[in-house]
């Protein structure tokens, strides 16, 4: 798998030219790895960061220009996504993952809003039923991050579970998001299956000079935590709200962290269908 797009390769070469001249030593090496890790994470979050920043900015200041916030976000999301492809900030394979997760997310939005799980309190022209069309791009942000981070950090794996098993798990997770409204909620069973499948799996990633490793279950939790924080910002900005936030903002429940953990896993599986998990091979 090609690690960078053509533009990213030029940025990476320029960054290496600067970083390679910095002093060496355990403290300096650690500081550089930490800095580059943060920069790469920010780059991987480009789509989501732009969307979240726009949502937050329009919450703090929004003039009456005859255009609903939701419609602005939808138009802006289309422009951002197109720009990322045109300027080669994203590959076509990544765009496929984003599109699939967008469709998957929109389908769930239509059902969940009809069931009253959450609502979109503001008007919009671009909408399907009670779902403004920008909402699908919020799922696309997660798909974009998962696809880009795999490439930017050159991630490889040890003991990755069989892909067909992860696909069955992803399907079961998605079905449970709907079925638990009618029958038993199987999320705890699904969590147990996730642990069984991924408990021995490790991801290996390169930051700058060194490769690092992390248990996959921990990596999933950290990403889900980040999404949960972003959701708190989104609900505070009234991009969408839960029933207990109608009369005033309250922190999103910790139970949603588990929901995002499972939903994020669907994105991971979709990415592996485009970029098959590569086995880790020790470097000399």
pLDDT in tens, 3-45: 787 778 888 888 888 888 888 888 888 899 999 999 999 999 9
Q: Which two tokens stand for residue 216?
A: 């996959």
Question: Where do we find the tokens 């003991």?
Answer: 159
Reported as a single tens digit per residue, the pLDDT across 200-254 is: 999 999 998 889 999 999 999 999 999 999 999 999 999 999 999 998 999 999 9
Determine the angle formed by the axes of helices 216-236 and 187-198, rounding to 10 degrees: 140
* Residues pairing with 119 in the sheet: 241
- pLDDT value at position 130? 85
Reported as a single tens digit per residue, the pLDDT across 155-202 is: 999 999 999 999 999 999 999 999 999 999 999 999 999 999 999 999
pLDDT at 2 over 60: no
Cβ(101)–Cβ(44) below 8 Å: no
- C-alpha distances (whole Å) from 176 to each of 133, 157, 169, 173, 195 are 23, 28, 11, 5, 17
Reported as a single tens digit per residue, the pLDDT across 74-125 is: 999 999 999 988 888 888 888 888 888 889 999 999 999 999 999 999 999 9
Q: How far apart are the first and last CA of the chain?
A: 20
Q: What is the mean pLDDT of residues 144-159?
A: 92
pLDDT at 72 over 90: yes
- C-alpha distances (whole Å) from 155 to each of 30, 38, 105, 179, 281 are 20, 16, 25, 34, 11
Q: What is the mean pLDDT of residues 254-275?
A: 91
For 142, residues 6+ apart whose C-beta sits below 8 A from its C-beta are 48, 101, 227, 263, 264, 267
d(Cα 68, Cα 216) in Å, to the nearest integer?
Answer: 40
Q: Which two tokens stand for residue 261?
A: 């953990």
- C-alpha distances (whole Å) from 90 to each of 2, 85, 141, 265 are 12, 5, 12, 21
pLDDT at 1 over 70: no
- pLDDT value at position 284? 65
Helices (H), 87-215: 92-114, 135-152, 163-179, 187-198
């Amino acid at each position: 798998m090609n690690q960078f797009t053509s533009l990213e390769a030029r940025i990476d070469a320029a960054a290496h030219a600067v970083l390679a001249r910095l002093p060496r030593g355990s403290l300096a090496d650690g500081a550089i790895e930490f800095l580059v890790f943060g920069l790469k994470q920010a780059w991987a979050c480009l789509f989501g960061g732009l969307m979240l920043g726009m949502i937050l900015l329009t919450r703090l200041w929004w003039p009456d220009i005859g255009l609903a916030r939701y419609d602005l976000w939808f138009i802006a999301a289309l422009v951002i996504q197109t720009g990322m492809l045109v300027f080669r900030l994203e590959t076509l394979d990544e765009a496929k993952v984003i599109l699939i997760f967008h469709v998957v997310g929109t389908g769930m939005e239509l059902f969940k809003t009809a069931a009253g799980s959450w609502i979109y309190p503001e008007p919009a022209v671009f909408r399907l039923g009670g779902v403004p069309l920008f909402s699908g791009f919020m799922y696309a942000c997660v798909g974009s991050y998962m696809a880009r981070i795999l490439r930017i950090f050159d991630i490889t794996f040890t003991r990755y579970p069989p892909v067909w098993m992860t696909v069955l798990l992803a399907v079961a997770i998605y079905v449970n998001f709907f079925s638990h409204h009618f029958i038993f909620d199987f999320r705890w069973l699904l969590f147990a299956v996730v642990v069984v499948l991924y408990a021995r799996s490790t991801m290996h990633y390169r930051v700058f000079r060194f490769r690092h490793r992390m248990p996959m279950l921990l990596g999933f939790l950290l990403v889900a935590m980040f999404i949960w924080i972003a959701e708190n910002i989104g609900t505070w900005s009234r991009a969408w709200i839960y029933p207990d936030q109608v009369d005033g903002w309250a922190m999103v429940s910790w139970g949603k962290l588990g929901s995002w953990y499972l939903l994020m896993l669907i994105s991971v599986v979709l990415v592996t269908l485009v970029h098959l998990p590569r086995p880790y091979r020790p470097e000399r």
